[in-house]
Amino acid sequence: MARGRILIAEDEVITSLDLWHLLDMWGFDMCRQVSTGEGAVEVAAQERPDVVLMDISLRGSRNGIEAATEIQSRLGIPVIFISGFDDAETMQRAEAASPAGYFVKPLDFYKLRSTIESVIRDKTESA
């Protein structure tokens, strides 16, 4: 049985592919990959993942923070940011989207995994 359903919104193909493989290997059910903010909102609405891993700098007209804000508020799906930005200004903007976590690249996969598991656990318990 899958341990939860995850959507990855990341415009770096190699990073996205690597994350997809790792999460799949760890037993998570994976949504199709997206590389734009609009795509993230659309797939999240269709496939209803348990968690969204969201890059901040994405292709398309909507960045990861905007997409995360809508996914969180409209769909009630927790979002974990994965970003190369670690400046105070970006992190403060990201904070406004009430994320479940913020991971700076290069990612510490083990910490990321335990955060995903904990977010899904909290979601299941509160359901």
Partner 1 sequence: MEHIKDEPETHMKERTFSLEASNRELRRHIEEQALYEERLRASEEAFRKLSSEFQAILDAIPDNLLLQAPGHHIIWANRGAARSIGSAVSDMVGKRCYDLWHSRSEPCENCPVAETFVTGASAYQEVTTPDGRTWELRTMPVKDEEGTTVSVVEVGRDITERKWVHERLKTSLREKETLLQELNHRTKNNLQVVASLLSLQSHSVTDPQALNILREAQDRIRSISLVHEKLYHSRDMSRISLRDYLEDLANSLITGYQADPGRIVLRLDVADIPLSPDIVSTCGLVVSELISNSLKYAFPDRRAGEIMVTVSTAQDGMFELRVSDNGIGFPEGFDFRRTKALGLRLVAQLVEHQLQGTIGLGSKGAPEFIIRFPAQGYRED
Catalog residues that contact partner 1 under the rule CB under 8 A. 12, 14-15, 17-19, 21-22, 25, 57, 83-87, 89-90, 104-111
Contact present, 11 and 36 (Cβ < 8 Å): yes
Alpha-carbon Rg for the chain in angstroms: 13
- The candidate with the shortest Cα–Cα distance to 112, out of 123, 124, 99, is 99
Closer to partner 1 at the Cβ: 100 or 103? Answer: 103
Closer to partner 1 at the Cβ: 77 or 103? Answer: 103
Smallest distance, partner 1 to C-beta of residue 11, A = 10
Please tell me what DSSP assigns to residue 33: P
Q: Is 127 helix (H, G, I), strand (E, B) or coil?
A: coil
Smallest distance, partner 1 to C-beta of residue 111, A = 7
Closer to partner 1 at the Cβ: 75 or 107? Answer: 107
Contact present, 58 and 40 (Cβ < 8 Å): yes
Closer to partner 1 at the Cβ: 25 or 127? Answer: 25
Contact present, 8 and 33 (Cβ < 8 Å): yes
| Angle, alpha carbons 19-21-64 (nearest 5°) | 25
Smallest distance, partner 1 to C-beta of residue 122, A = 19
Smallest distance, partner 1 to C-beta of residue 115, A = 12
